[in-house]
Structures are given as C-alpha cells and as structure tokens.
Amino acid sequence: DLRILLPRGLEIVGAVVSSSGDTAATKNDATRAGDFAFGLQQELGLAANSGSDGITVIAALAVESLSTNESVMCYSQYDGSRLQLLEEEIVQEWPWRDTCLLRCQLQLSMPLYLPSIVTLAEYEEQVIGSVDSIISNLKSSRAVFLFERQGETVLIHASDKPNAKAVAADVQQIPSESTLSSLQGSILQPAENQIPVPMKLILMIRPSCSKTSSPFMQYLPAKSLVELHLLRMSLDVLCLAPSHLSAADATTLLVVPALCDQLIVMCKMANKNATHNPKKGIASQTGFAIGRPMLRVANALTLASLESRSNHSAGGKRLLDVHIGLPASTVAGGCQSLIAGSYEYYHYLQDRFDDNGWGCAYRSLQTIISWFRLQHYTSITVPTHREIQECLVEIGDKEGSFIGSQEWIGAIELSFVLDKLLGVTSKILSVRSGAEMPSKGRELALHFRTQGTPVMIGGGVLAYTLLGVDFNELTGEIMFLILDPHYTGGEDLKSIRNGGWCGWKGTITTNGQQFFLANKFYNLLLPQRPITV
C-alpha cells in the first residue's frame, strides 16, 4: 500500500534505530541495515525493483539515534550488490540527476454482469476476475506504449516482436532498446531545484491479430435477471527511471508493475466500498434480500402500526391478515407455502359501494395492491372500481362506455392494471377445467416460496384470492387457502372465519360439491415481486 503512494523506482526501506554516538556512525548503521534489508528481500524474492534488473534503486531510510535523540534522513542507491550512501551535494540534485520521470494514465470501464440480488462473494469474484484479465493483458505482448514528445508520438513495444500494423501510420516506431535519454531529445531540462516535466505515456491494448480467430457466443445461464454494471477506474502512475534504461525495460520493469499494483489496490477498495454500501452492507449482515424494500423509512414500526396489526385491522376500516390463526388443513404429510407479508381484506359492499354479483375480481385486485402497499413497493392508494376501469380504458383495453359499468374483469385485465399502476409484471397459469387445479400445486407452492404475493383465481363468473397451498408432492393431495371476496357482511373476524369466507378449501367441499367447477376454465394471476427496488 505504501508503494502505491511513491513513484515506482523509489523504495522506502524502513526506520533504523541506532545506538551509535555520532552522525557518521549512525549513517553507517543505516547503510548496514539497508544492505541487510535489501539482501533479505532478494533472498525471499520480495524485492520490487531489484538492482539485478538493471534498475538503480533509490532508498530512503529514517534513522534515529538513541544517544543524541536526533533523527536524520539517509538517501542511498542500490545497484544490486550493495547500498551506497549518497553524499549531501548529490542528495540536493537527487532524484532528478540521471533519472527520468514517466507518467502513464489509463481509464478503465470494467463490465460486471450481476444478478439483481447479488451476494458480496459474487461481486468480489467478478471484480477480481476482471482485474486479473486486465493485468494479464498489461503483461502480454498486446500492450503497446506510446511516448509523447515535442508534438510527435513514438511507439515502444514491450514485446520482442512488435507489430507495426497495430498502430496508426503517423506514429514513429523506434527500436525497443532505445534509452530514455535518447527519447527525451530536446525536452527542456529543469532549472536548478525544479522538478522536470514527466514524459507522458499512452497505453494501448491492441486486439488479437490471429487470422484463425472468429466471432463466438457464450451462453451464461443465470438464476435471475442479470444486469450490466460498469466499474470505472482511473489509473495514474508515476515512475522514476534511470536515463540509461531502455524504453522497453522501463515499461516492463516499472510502468507495467506500477499499473498492476494500483489495479490490485483499487480492486480491494472497490470490494471494501461494496461492503460499506449501506444497502448491501446491512443486507449482508442481516441476511435481508437486497431486491426487497426492507430498509426504507416507511418500513419503520410504530406503536400504532403494531397495535393495528394485533387488532387485525388497518386503520379500523379493513381487516388485516385474516388467515392468521386458522386451523390447519387436512392434507396428510403436506407442506404449507403461504403468502409472505400483510394484506387488507377487500370484499363486496365495502366503502358503501354495491358491487354484489360483479365486483369480485375488482376486490381481489384491491387486496393484491394492498399487499404491495403494505410491503412498501408502492405508495399509491388502492384504486376504486372506477379508477380500475379508467386505467383499462386509458391503455386501450376497453371502450369508453366501460367506465361506470358493472362488467366483469378477469386475470388478464388485472395484469394490465398491475403493470400500468405499479410496474408489476405477472405470470398467468391456465387450466381447462377446475378438476385440473391440483396439477398446478407444485407451481403454486414455488410461487409462494419465491414471490410470496397473493394470487387471483378467475373462472366463469367467480374470482377468489389465493393466499397459499398445502401440498403433498408424493400423493399430489392439495388444499387451497382461499380468501373469498364475495363476503357481504361487516368487518367481523369471527363471522368471516365461521362462514368459511377465509379458509382451507379442497377441490371437493365438505358438503360434497365441487369448489372448482369441472366445466369451467380458470386463469390464475401470479404477480411477481419487483426485482429492482
């Protein structure tokens, strides 16, 4: 991390505490300590810029004398064999004496293909994979460096086999062994005690020139919708290189490693920022799904909201979650899959509006929209019958005469309204006969486990709201948790439960009648949770 803050080619060896009594001895201790430190790095293969690669390493050591309590800075150069202490007059001219500053800037846009609900591990895996790919390209023969000088551009290849066809015709190509001092040419030398202007490098990654290469497609199956995200990074490195070093060696030994180091550090920061993202970070710690609105201010629980839930009412107007506390179904060995979240019970004759005999699908739609409201996916008010009709006319599904009428609507119309008002998509399941309803048990169980939204069932002239299923996969036996909008009484929970207006229903009722009629076809509306919140 410290190396990122320094020009490449400049090494900080460390701090030395000396027990010597004079400055000369203290500096001598510093030199010995530096020799040992560099030698140890060489033995362990940790030296970033070893002198054996032809680079003279400039080292800085902070030295504190225990006897005099004085601190001094020692500057040395390391040529691969020993550390040589620099004299004071040389230090004054250092580091611009016999060196060249190189600067390379690079703008990156890394594509990340992430599911809408992404774990931190998946995010980190893609970021690391993208960074590794870029580092591989930087170290390959496809990397081309362009040096800008005095209004012209010269080409440097880090590889031994340059391909001049990969760059523009007006770019001058020079031998890779050309030294940095020859590239500097007529660049103005800095005045005394002034920093020279760095030589600017432009990096290009040329495409593969293989004649046998051909376009290809790759299919990546995903569990959910995948979105493209661009992770943008701006690299900016500065290198301090000896003037006698060849341009190719300078790019290979200094510039490329500096870019790679900066990329790795930025990759770590990107992953760290992902964990500190308020939504992602809290969600990863609590186990919340990122795609669901669980951390909004509107989700805060108040004493009033808790009290209304305990009274099974919403603001004293409509009953809330009337299925809670019902007796269990009679399916042996079944597995219950139920609605996830709260809803309001809408039924006939509410709000002093007489829709008896034609408004059951409207009431089922109102129950569904109330679920999206109470889960904070939307803040719109639950629409009235007239507003639902106006919506269908607005999108062109119905004629103007439909507004104010008592015409029935079905699952298809409900899907149109949900899409228009909430932006919610829906799936439609169809069965040719009520007798085939048990065949949809597995699909309905999956819906309630993954989506948890209320389901509207429409068949003939009747509509119901489905709150869950109890399904035995081995025997196929199933019961449906039905919320019946045809109830015409008051908001009395006991009357609703005793009258069977909310309860478990089989295909055949307790009095031997068919609940789902065999001579009617049915459409089931399965609203889908929004995946981006």
Which of 373, 83, 70, 48 has its CA nearest to residue 239? 48
Q: How far is Cα of residue 408 from the mean position of the Cα atoms in its chain? A: 44
323 is catalytic: no
Cross-strand partners of 456: 465, 525
Burial class (CB in 10 A: 0-12, 13-18, 19+), 392: buried
The two beta strands, 226-242 and 522-527, are unpaired
Given a contact cutoff of 8 angstroms between Cβ atoms, the answer to whether 373 and 379 are in contact is yes
3-state secondary structure 326-361: CCCCCCCCCEEEECCCCCECCCCCHHHCCCCCCCHH
The rounded distance, in Å, linking the Cα atoms of 251 and 58 is 18
**Cα separation, 277 vs 267, whole angstroms:** 15
SS3 content of the chain, % helix, strand, coil (to 5): 35, 25, 40
Cα–Cα distance between 274 and 127 in angstroms, integer? 11
Residue given tokens 């009095």 in the structure block: 511
Specify which residues 482 forms β-bridges with: 466, 503
Give the whole-angstrom CA distance, residue 291 versus residue 235.
Answer: 32
Catalytic residue among 29, 249, 470, 484: 484
Choose among 138, 289, 272: nearest CA to 205. 138
Among residues 100, 260, 360, 391, the one annotated as catalytic is 360
Task: Return phi, psi of residue 479, to 5°.
Answer: -130, 150
The question of whether 484 is a catalytic residue gets the answer yes
What angle is formed at CA 315 by the lines to CA 313 and CA 316, rounded to 5 degrees?
60
Distance CA 34, CA 39 (A): 8
Amino acid at 517: L
Tell me, yes or no, if 360 is annotated catalytic. yes
The helix-helix angle for 385-394 and 360-374 (nearest 10°) equals 90
d(CA 186, CA 201) in angstroms, rounded, equals 17
**Bridge partners, residue 62, by sequence:** 15, 73
Q: How far apart are the first and last CA of the chain?
A: 37
Residue carrying the six token digits 């299919």: 219
Give me the active site residues, please. Answer: 360, 484, 486
